[in-house]
Amino acid sequence: MSHVSSHSPHGQSPLRTVQVLGGGSAGSSAHVRSLASGLVARGVRVTVCAPTEADRAYGFSGVGAHHVPVPRSSDPSSVSALRAACAEADLVHAHGLHAALRAALALSGRRVPLVVTWHTRADAEGARAHLLRLLERRVARAASVVLGTSSDLVDRARRRGARDARLAAVALPAPRPPVEPADPDRCRHKARAELGSTERPLLMAVGSLDRQRGYETLLDAAHVWCRLDPVPLLVIAGEGPLRGVLQRRIEDEELPVRLIGRRDDITELLAAADLALLPSSWESRSVLAQEALHARVPLVATAVGGIPELVGDAAELVPYGDARALGETVVRLLADPVRQEELRERGTRQAASWPTEDETVAQVLSVYDELTQAQLSH
């Protein structure tokens, strides 16, 4: 039988792939949209199984994919909906643990290659940690190939029994361009005025308000730069379970910090900042780190997970949970415009070394080809 490939001579049927998304973090949803768009452009048939709200937010149908609404993981009807959607597939690609588990269940008894991308790792304690390990093991073993977005995720997949685990190229999808090209200086000034930071340094952190983001440490660090004149303003964009706790601390300790909730103009706000701060306990390919370097905003981040590999020498790295190191690094950097400029230059160079959306699609497609060819040769 001849090789069924997406980019084979005409006369052969196109490769039929199903992309499965669970709840879908912003990073994995944007990645699936970028992937769907690139695969469709290369003649691959793409079905995206995702909750309806994910299609509304990311427009999978808009890039030529066929969207099948599949409810979130807790819904028992989701496996049967998936099984039906995967009936004709040559290959299934699941993004995230829960999506992968459901895809493995939907494919049980069929010899269809399953590719799983691990975009992040879940954190749990006690009995839940044990359950999570079992889930990771089940998924790692069910997959023909596990793609990890950082080296430590690849290692984790191998420890969980993956037959084949590789580092995935994952591009930061290009931000959708503004309707009219704006004057960057004016935008910057407008954003700073709106945040209340025209006469003082602006520090920016972005991400959901939960434990692993390290915001408690960030508030401790704010005490260190409180003694500067003018006092820098720290703005945190994001929503989450710790909002009440953080807000109380900000008020009780009279900290120069504003929680501004979820925003859809992060790119503009970040471009207006003097420094970007990433205090997380773990990240793979942090979107904030990538956006900061692209926007030429000096970054202070924790040396955890995939961050050192992602940013190279283009950021100031501090140990996780060390409020003093974080605070002092911010104070030192604000006083050193030469070092700031050096980080901007290095950031531009580092960002240019990251995979493009095209390279990401090409890598994924080569994995698909390899697996479908092996399938045919059996």
pLDDT tens-place string over residues 64-106: 999 999 987 666 788 899 999 999 999 999 999 999 999 999 9
Chain-centroid distance of CA 121 in Å reads: 11
Residue 335 and residue 371 share a domain: no
**Same domain for 87 and 58:** yes
Whether residue 55 is found in the same domain as residue 115: yes
Tell me what the mean pLDDT of segment 176-205 comes to.
83
Q: What is the pLDDT of residue 174?
A: 65
Q: Is the pLDDT of residue 6 over 50?
A: no
Query: Is there a single domain that holds both residue 38 and residue 135?
Result: yes
More confident of the two residues 264 and 277: 277
In a shared domain, residues 167 and 191: no
Are 123 and 188 found together in one domain?
Answer: no
Beta carbons within 10 angstroms of residue 229's beta carbon? 5
In this structure, the answer to whether residues 268 and 360 fall within a common structural domain is: no
pLDDT of residue 374: 84
Q: Is a pLDDT exceeding 60 seen at residue 158?
A: yes
Q: Is residue 176 part of a domain?
A: no
Domain membership of residue 5 (yes or no) is no
What backbone phi and psi angles, to 5 degrees, belong to 99?
A: -60, -40
At 279, the pLDDT band (50, 70, 90 cuts) reads: very high
Instruction: For residues 293 and 306, state if they share a domain.
Output: yes
What is the sign, positive or negative, of the torsion defined by CA atoms of 204, 207, 210, 211? negative
| Residue 126: predicted pLDDT | 85
* 142 and 38 fall within a common domain: yes
pLDDT number for residue 10: 42
pLDDT computed for residue 339 by the predictor = 98
Give the whole-angstrom CA distance, residue 162 versus residue 142: 8
| Tens digit of each residue's pLDDT (9 = 90 or more) over 33-66 | 999 999 999 999 999 999 998 999 899 999 999 9
* Same-domain check for residues 225 and 327: yes
Q: Are residues 257 and 343 in the same domain?
A: yes
Amino acid symbol at 361: V
Q: Note down the domain range covering 239.
A: 184-353
Dihedral, CA atoms, 253, 258, 259, 263, nearest 10 degrees?
A: -170
Count of domains observed in the chain: 2
Q: What is the pLDDT of residues 217-248, one digit of tens each?
A: 999 999 999 999 999 999 999 999 999 999 99
Answer whether residue 3 is part of any domain. no
Domain presence at residue 326: yes
Q: How far apart are CA 193 and CA 107, in angstroms?
A: 54
Q: Read off the CATH number of the domain in which 274 is found.
A: 3.40.50.2000
Same domain, 198 and 335: yes
- Split at pLDDT 50, 70, 90, the class of 171 is confident
| Domain presence at residue 200 | yes
Say if 179 falls within a structural domain: no
Buried/exposed 345-367: b ≥16 CB within 10 Å, e otherwise: ebbeebbeebeebeebbebbbeb
Say if 10 falls within a structural domain: no
6 located within any domain: no
